[in-house]
Chains A and B, each alone.
Chain A
Amino acid sequence: MDEHAARLHRLRWHCRRALLELDLVFQRYWQRVGDDVDAEQAAALERLLEMEDHDLWELVSGRCETTDPQLNGLVERLRQV
């Protein structure tokens, strides 16, 4: 398995969260993108997954916004899945 594929495998597991809401959002996200995640997107996802679950849900559900331009696109995508 190449490094990028291993990275995506790890990311999929890191999308297992403490809150059902987030599990469902990330499940839909992976169904939508499959393995079509490039290095830049993977880096954004890694950073997003560092967040605490409640804060992440507030962001994904639109109750707050990120000031980080690199995360904007991903957050918008998660809101739409």
Chain B
Amino acid sequence: MKITQRTFDAVIVGAGGAGLRSAIQLSESGLKTAVITKVFPTRSHTVAAQGGVAASLGNSEEDHWHWHMYDTVKGSDWLGDQDAIEFMCRKANEVVIELEHYGMPFDRTDAGKIYQRPFGGHMSNFGEKPVRRACAAADRTGHAMLHALYQRNVRANTQFFVEWMALDLIRGAEGEVLGVVAMEMETGEISIFQAKATIFATGGSGRMFYSSTNAFINTGDGLGMTARAGLPIQDMEFFQFHPTGVYGAGVLITEGVRGEGGILRNSAGERFMERYAPNAKDLASRDVVSRAMATEIKEGRGCGPNRDHVLLDLSHLDPKVIMQRLPGIREISIQFAGVDPIREPIPVVPTAHYQMGGIPTHYSGRVVAPRDGDPDAIVPGFYAAGECACASVHGANRLGTNSLLDLLVFGKSAGDSVIEDVASHPKSLPDLPANAADYSLSRLARLDGQVDGESVHEVQLALRRTMQDHCGVFRFPDLLKEGVSEIMAVAERVGRSGIKDKSKVFNTARIEALELDNLIEAAKATMIGAATRQESRGAQARADFPERDDINWLKHTLWYREDNRIDSRPVHLKPLTVDTIELKKRTY
């Protein structure tokens, strides 16, 4: 097969918010920059972000980056790196105002400033009372952001490779990253993108769960490539769940439904939240409600033939309330659950929403991996930002509106680091190893040559079922133990998967098989991380270890693909300029 070789100063994989923000930095500095993306940039999953972007602008009331930092450290259940969190919170105003200058249509106050609204977990004066910190563009913040960033890239002449899929990292003899191998979907042709710097901005891997709010593109491609290249993935056991996704579909049913009087019921019709949260009942916090639902299901009180979901009952509400105050919910229920909530309850399950872990990075966006006793050793030539990266600012739990901030700050920071590193090594491109594309080609050949291969769809379904049933919102020792063996069995099936259609042009079956190769790596890291970490912290809730354990587990988990090896890195408790935010119990 003919392999085209393309050379750039920098190649970015992924054109969501983080990738586009990095690309602006690079293209505007004059570096020759390529962005490889599976879908057109404005179809990236950043579009789905509604809530806003956090910045302590103080436009509506007094605010300070240090308060924002405190909230983020507390929200992370102290697993976030405090240097990275200080960096992000201090940079927030700058990146939001830059975005405004790029043309982002933020909502405005009467005085013409960026309007800010309150959001869960964001407080003033070190946790005293809620503060208005979220900057939004109606309920389409992510969409507006992506458009503003894309237009700026067009102006800066960023070169986009749209409908291309990156397959594997290329590493040199010293472990440095030299670029990626990628496939053009329209032709099936393979190219080498050789670059002085490679930035991953490939988004999350939420599709590993049967119930997921994530779009189909979120298959953890960057994580798969990183793991196959022998590098670790960090803190994958921390996955944020939303309590009410439509059973079988994952589409979110907003908390507002319970706010309007919606009640969760088990198979006996019992309003079970009364037992778990006698005061707040169905309006308890997301994690409390999700764990209660998981316990009901685990103890056999789930609904349906498989007893694997609960019901969200609105049928006692006046139909006018449903029609007027919950527009959209009725359409979603009818479309995805086949029920009209005016008459019948909606089947719901806790649903995976956001991946806190990812490729370990320094706050400069440089990827790190322990080497020669240094837990923070830089992997030369390799950078990551956004949901695929773990800086780590979200630690064990992410605050709403911090994800859009993460991708702006660390997208920009990764770009700045590339500029700095390229300037300090001005020599020409490093040599590629011989046959740099061979590994990717062998994966494609295996897929095309597989005899009696297992259906990609079936194996993907088994993967998602295994993760949902064994590694969901509330984790039980027996289920985790089984889950580890089952996910390894699924991994073997992934290695035997096959496709019937071997054509070249936009072969979605082949792309899905390659995505499955990535998703399984992310899933193994998540399951094994969850089984290994013997504590409950943030989004990791273990029935057998219900408390946070700072003596043994105040550390980042690292998972390596080879032999499923587990290692760890220390949490950076020392911020850049201020005092450490000392450990305490996380209560609201």
State the A residues within 8 Å of B (CB).
1, 6, 9-10, 12-13, 16-21, 23-25, 27, 52-54, 61-63, 79
Whether the Cβ atoms of A20 and B213 lie closer than 8 Å is yes
Task: Given the known inter-chain contacts A53-B43, A54-B140, please indicate yes or no for A21 contacting B332, CB distance below 8 A.
Answer: yes
Selected from B215, B250, B505, B506, the residue in CB contact (under 8 A) with A18 is: B215
Residue of B nearest to A8 (CB): B506
Say how far A43's CB is from chain B's closest CB, in angstroms: 17
Q: Taking each of B46, B143, B327, B504, which has the highest tally of chain A beta carbons within 10 Å of its own beta carbon?
A: B143
Task: Given the known inter-chain contacts A18-B215, A21-B332, please indicate yes or no for A13 contacting B511, CB distance below 8 A.
Answer: yes
Please indicate the chain A residues that have their CB under 8 angstroms from the CB of B505 in the complex: 1, 6, 9-10
Known A-B contacts: A16-B38, A53-B143. Give 14 more (CB < 8 A): A9-B506, A16-B39, A16-B43, A17-B215, A17-B216, A18-B44, A18-B45, A18-B48, A20-B251, A21-B336, A24-B336, A27-B216, A61-B332, A79-B335
Please indicate the chain A residues that have their CB under 8 angstroms from the CB of B217 in the complex: 16, 18
The 9 closest A-B pairs by CB, nearest first: A18-B47, A9-B506, A61-B331, A23-B216, A6-B505, A10-B506, A13-B506, A18-B43, A20-B215
Residue of A nearest to B511 (CB): A13
**What would be 14 A-B contacts, judged by CB atoms less than 8 Å apart?**
A1-B505, A10-B186, A12-B506, A13-B506, A18-B42, A18-B44, A19-B215, A20-B249, A21-B251, A24-B336, A27-B216, A61-B331, A61-B332, A79-B335
Please indicate the chain A residues that have their CB under 8 angstroms from the CB of B214 in the complex: 20
Chain B contact residues: over half helix, strand or loop, or mixed? Answer: loop
Residue of A nearest to B138 (CB): A54
Say how far B185's CB is from chain A's closest CB, in angstroms: 6
Whether the Cβ atoms of A23 and B327 lie closer than 8 Å is no
Whether the Cβ atoms of A9 and B43 lie closer than 8 Å is no
Please indicate the chain B residues that have their CB under 8 angstroms from the CB of A19 in the complex: 47-48, 215
Whether the Cβ atoms of A63 and B328 lie closer than 8 Å is yes
Say how far B108's CB is from chain A's closest CB, in angstroms: 21
B125 at the interface (CB under 8 A from A): no
Please indicate the chain B residues that have their CB under 8 angstroms from the CB of A6 in the complex: 505-506
Please indicate the chain B residues that have their CB under 8 angstroms from the CB of A52 in the complex: 42, 143
B285 at the interface (CB under 8 A from A): no
B469 at the interface (CB under 8 A from A): no
Whether the Cβ atoms of A17 and B43 lie closer than 8 Å is yes
Q: Mark B240-255, 1 if CB is under 8 A from A, else 0.
A: 0000000001110000
Task: Given the known inter-chain contacts A21-B251, A61-B328, please indicate yes or no for A54 contacting B143, CB distance below 8 A.
Answer: yes
B29 at the interface (CB under 8 A from A): no
Say how far B290's CB is from chain A's closest CB, in angstroms: 18
State the B residues within 8 Å of A (CB).
38-39, 42-48, 140, 143, 163, 185-186, 212-217, 249-251, 327-328, 331-332, 335-336, 503-508, 511
Tally A-B pairs: CB < 8 A: 80
Please indicate the chain A residues that have their CB under 8 angstroms from the CB of B216 in the complex: 16-17, 20, 23, 27
Please indicate the chain B residues that have their CB under 8 angstroms from the CB of A18 in the complex: 39, 42-48, 215, 217
Whether the Cβ atoms of A13 and B47 lie closer than 8 Å is no
The complex places the Cα of A50 from the Cα of B112 at a distance, in Å, of 33
Whether the Cβ atoms of A9 and B332 lie closer than 8 Å is no
The complex places the Cα of A58 from the Cα of B184 at a distance, in Å, of 32
Please indicate the chain A residues that have their CB under 8 angstroms from the CB of B251 in the complex: 20-21, 24
Whether the Cβ atoms of A24 and B503 lie closer than 8 Å is no
The complex places the Cα of A17 from the Cα of B73 at a distance, in Å, of 34
The complex places the Cα of A18 from the Cα of B505 at a distance, in Å, of 22
Please indicate the chain A residues that have their CB under 8 angstroms from the CB of B44 in the complex: 18
Residue of A nearest to B504 (CB): A1
Please indicate the chain A residues that have their CB under 8 angstroms from the CB of B46 in the complex: 18
The complex places the Cα of A17 from the Cα of B511 at a distance, in Å, of 15
Residue of A nearest to B503 (CB): A1
Please indicate the chain A residues that have their CB under 8 angstroms from the CB of B250 in the complex: 20
Residue of B nearest to A24 (CB): B249
Whether the Cβ atoms of A63 and B48 lie closer than 8 Å is no
Residue of A nearest to B146 (CB): A18
Please indicate the chain A residues that have their CB under 8 angstroms from the CB of B213 in the complex: 20
Please indicate the chain B residues that have their CB under 8 angstroms from the CB of A23 in the complex: 215-216
Whether the Cβ atoms of B163 and A13 lie closer than 8 Å is yes
Residue of A nearest to B501 (CB): A9
Residue of A nearest to B40 (CB): A14
Please indicate the chain B residues that have their CB under 8 angstroms from the CB of A17 in the complex: 39, 43, 215-216
The complex places the Cα of A52 from the Cα of B43 at a distance, in Å, of 8
Please indicate the chain B residues that have their CB under 8 angstroms from the CB of A62 in the complex: 331
The complex places the Cα of A20 from the Cα of B332 at a distance, in Å, of 12
Residue of A nearest to B49 (CB): A18
Residue of A nearest to B16 (CB): A18
Say how far B297's CB is from chain A's closest CB, in angstroms: 22
The complex places the Cα of A49 from the Cα of B7 at a distance, in Å, of 33
The complex places the Cα of A53 from the Cα of B40 at a distance, in Å, of 12
Please indicate the chain B residues that have their CB under 8 angstroms from the CB of A12 in the complex: 506, 508
Say how far B331's CB is from chain A's closest CB, in angstroms: 4
Please indicate the chain A residues that have their CB under 8 angstroms from the CB of B39 in the complex: 16-18
The complex places the Cα of A66 from the Cα of B47 at a distance, in Å, of 22
Whether the Cβ atoms of A13 and B331 lie closer than 8 Å is no
Please indicate the chain B residues that have their CB under 8 angstroms from the CB of A63 in the complex: 327-328, 331
The complex places the Cα of A20 from the Cα of B504 at a distance, in Å, of 26
The complex places the Cα of A61 from the Cα of B332 at a distance, in Å, of 8
Whether the Cβ atoms of B328 and A54 lie closer than 8 Å is no
Please indicate the chain A residues that have their CB under 8 angstroms from the CB of B143 in the complex: 52-54
Say how far A71's CB is from chain B's closest CB, in angstroms: 18
The complex places the Cα of A17 from the Cα of B250 at a distance, in Å, of 15
Residue of A nearest to B142 (CB): A18
Please indicate the chain A residues that have their CB under 8 angstroms from the CB of B186 in the complex: 10
Please indicate the chain A residues that have their CB under 8 angstroms from the CB of B336 in the complex: 21, 24
Say how far A24's CB is from chain B's closest CB, in angstroms: 6
